[in-house]
Structure 1
């Protein structure tokens, strides 16, 4: 395999990036499904929007909470083994979904099992792959792998929405299961954990080295990392800005844009197309953000991203009332900025805590992101029931993004070597 990679002139790390991209793409497509299922479940089971939103909220929270422990497990057991097991569990939970008859069963399958399984394939997976396989182009790699979430929406949402409308949500579930099984087989055959497995050096260097064995406890090591990080101001600023990031993206728009469009008479397939369009432009925006984070001050990039996102969310209620053209403009503008915040946040975490600890520390930052997303997923559904519209949560998300922009500029420029030393103790 090493000889083949050298013969083609392609470093095997780029093949691993492609396989990781494919895994995260399908995982993201599955995570986006509840926004399509919300209205069918209301009609078929009579469940309230707040009740369905609570399931999504729990799934989002567990998805984030798994991240730091996922980073430790990826190092301890190897990326391929962890990803294959996670894909298998996720496929099983989806296959059982059509058999459910009560909200508590939806809570277990999508709140608990799906949340934990997708959490093992979260942004931490992309950070781990970039650290293991790359010395150069890390920002670009993180940007590409982060953008896979957007591409998952791009490919899956319109298709799954159309299947749901034409033949029913159960067939959409079966389609997702088939996709998961195919990806599982591909990862099991071709994925490799480390460059040394194929006799290569990491991209950007000529030295072939064995991976440093993970010797800590997979449960205690992330908690020790968190304890040390809590003493660091930069960690609080990164976690705080990412809380607002989650509040304003997958928790709010990813979960509630389709139902919000339904409130304004916009068909479900059309609304899913708008989310897919956001995914297309986020693929461009987040990849470009990774390239920029290799070259420019990440704090200033975050200031720009959060500020522009805040303005677009404050504009959203007007866009929903104004008609399709205005909503299309919002989708393009917002899509470019959807998760462009990830590459500069990863870079700042690595600078502050070192690449050996970046996975676990960024995992805890992602926990804050998913807590924010969880609050928005449930809170927006609740406010929709109270006030009959999504105007208040959309505007509130815009305001907190402006706050996040200000917080980003307060992050220190310097590398905190003391923080790195503490984490390594």
Structure 2
């Protein structure tokens, strides 16, 4: 929840920073782009590092890094300060707490209902938007942009303390079995060579078509969700005469329905073919983006509410199906593979954040951006059925197995190297 809120704040800061420092929107969006890229690139290394030192240490360190970046942002005076503090520090810290973090915890703590739990954890980031975003927007309007930044830094410090005191790395640390397991599961030894393992998993996965298809889908997914919405929605609504607080409230409402959609998608992923679900989600998202230029206005209208509801339901609904496909294809290495796929998601998000703002500077409107992103969703919907969901198994000792020789998960024996 805490990491999710940080991703939405650049959209609230864009107009105040533009007014105070006369920086171009493209300069401000560059920090958001760097944040999104590092948010993705950090994830696979954090997943491997957690296998070595534990999720508690990784999560606590990430939250401290995020808090430090936020506090330093309050003293910025140049565009590159924003890139360093919000882009690099907060991007790297938040990247340790992405959906790879959720996939890793789900794989360790749950045997049954993994799709549902993954969806619930994915919903947490958007629930954070629901709780914080309207309050932060109100603070920007009534006080100054620094007030919400300090608030978030303090929230991150509080959560870091809670994580350190309460989070456990493995069910065995708490003396319980994973949910749905047949018996007690001992804690595995720490995985050696986190960086080497992360890169070797990438090398092995990159030899499979499934990896590139999932990565390509997530490039388009990132470009059409957080990439454009979290940093450009508020400025776009402002162009139509909508107040910042109202625009932020709508974005918060997207978070509400994203939370519902993520949980529902997780439940559906446990029951239906993930490829068909991805096709459906991207198709619906395309329709909403095509309709947005016609429904966006200065007032909150029924048609705009309808957009928020439908778009929100499919916003992060793609995550549980992609995690399920990655787990089936790569077994124990699935969270690391998903980390790399999520890095592709953030590359698309970062490009969309910067190019969307740059297009606004060039064309004077976001309408061309919404249409182009709708076309991208159509391409993703047509590509999704080609993913191969065959189950494979990875090697937890640090060497990924060759996917074409690996043994079916749960076959009762170790996978061959």
CA distance in 2, matches of 1:96, 1:365: 30
Post-superposition offset of 1:210: 2.0
1:127 equivalent in structure 2: 103
Tell me if 1:341 matches 2:318.
Answer: yes
Post-superposition offset of 1:373: 0.3
More helix by share: 1
- Do 1:248 and 1:397's aligned partners in 2 also have CA atoms closer than 8 Å? yes
Tell me if 1:259 matches 2:241.
Answer: no
Tell me if 1:187 matches 2:163.
Answer: yes
CA distance in 2, matches of 1:413, 1:193: 29
Mean CA deviation greater in 313-322 or 134-143: 313-322
1:209 equivalent in structure 2: 185
- Do 1:353 and 1:420's aligned partners in 2 also have CA atoms closer than 8 Å? no
SS class of match (1:200): coil
1:71 equivalent in structure 2: 47
Q: CA offsets, 1:128-172, max 9 Å, x none?
A: 110111111111110001111111111111110001111111111
Q: CA offsets, 1:245-297, max 9 Å, x none?
A: 00000001121110000000000000000001011111111100000100111
Tell me if 1:419 matches 2:400.
Answer: no
Pairing 1:25-424 to 2, within 5 Å after superposition: 25-321=1-297, 323-325=299-301, 326-354=303-331, 356-416=332-392, 419=403, 421=405
Post-superposition offset of 1:369: 0.4
Post-superposition offset of 1:412: 2.0
Post-superposition offset of 1:323: 5.0
Post-superposition offset of 1:322: 8.6
SS class of match (2:388): coil
SS class of match (2:189): coil
- Do 1:97 and 1:106's aligned partners in 2 also have CA atoms closer than 8 Å? yes
Superposition CA RMSD, Å: 1.4
CA distance in 2, matches of 1:59, 1:174: 18
CA distance in 2, matches of 1:402, 1:188: 43
Mean CA deviation greater in 92-101 or 341-350: 92-101
1:6 equivalent in structure 2: none
Mean CA deviation greater in 373-382 or 148-157: 148-157
- Do 1:352 and 1:420's aligned partners in 2 also have CA atoms closer than 8 Å? no
Q: 1:413 to 1:31 in 2, by over 3 A?
A: closer
CA distance in 2, matches of 1:411, 1:395: 26
CA distance in 1, matches of 2:87, 2:354: 12
- Do 2:43 and 2:343's aligned partners in 1 also have CA atoms closer than 8 Å? yes
Post-superposition offset of 1:413: 4.1
Q: 1:337 to 1:424 in 2, by over 3 A?
A: farther
- Do 2:241 and 2:297's aligned partners in 1 also have CA atoms closer than 8 Å? no
Q: CA offsets, 1:10-38, max 9 Å, x none?
A: xxxxxxxxxxxxxxx01111121111011
Task: With the length of structure 2 as denominator, give the TM-score of the two structures.
Answer: 0.93
CA distance in 2, matches of 1:111, 1:182: 22
- Do 2:5 and 2:129's aligned partners in 1 also have CA atoms closer than 8 Å? yes
- Do 2:9 and 2:230's aligned partners in 1 also have CA atoms closer than 8 Å? no
CA distance in 2, matches of 1:104, 1:415: 45
Q: 1:57 to 1:405 in 2, by over 3 A?
A: same
Post-superposition offset of 1:343: 0.2
SS class of match (2:85): helix
Post-superposition offset of 1:220: 1.5
How many matched pairs? 400
Q: 1:160 to 1:323 in 2, by over 3 A?
A: closer
Pairing 1:3-18 to 2, within 5 Å after superposition: none
CA distance in 2, matches of 1:254, 1:402: 21
